[in-house]
Amino acid sequence: MSTARFHAIERTSPEGEGQKFIGTCSLCGKPGLTFADMQEPCENVRGLTDDEALLEAVQGPDAA
């Protein structure tokens, strides 16, 4: 399996109607990202695969 190539963004902004989605990449730690940044290349310093990043997003950081 290859490592994830794009940001895996975890929401940090409050949820609610009219609230813009802003988050931090769980792979490289870059803050202030939006949905538009999800296709931006990521350094992925943690070396997670796409599957591991998805599992972590769903189950929490101890899942990967």
User: Are 7 and 40 in contact, with CB atoms under 8 Å apart?
Assistant: yes
Task: For residue 57, name the pLDDT band (cuts at 50, 70, 90).
Answer: confident
Domain chopping of the chain, boundaries: 9-59
- In this structure, what are the phi and psi dihedrals at residue 41, rounded to the nearest 5 degrees? -60, 145
Strand (E) or helix (H) holding 28: none
pTM of the model: 0.81
Strand partners, 11: 23
Looking at residue 36, its pLDDT comes to 93
Task: For residue 17, name the pLDDT band (cuts at 50, 70, 90).
Answer: confident
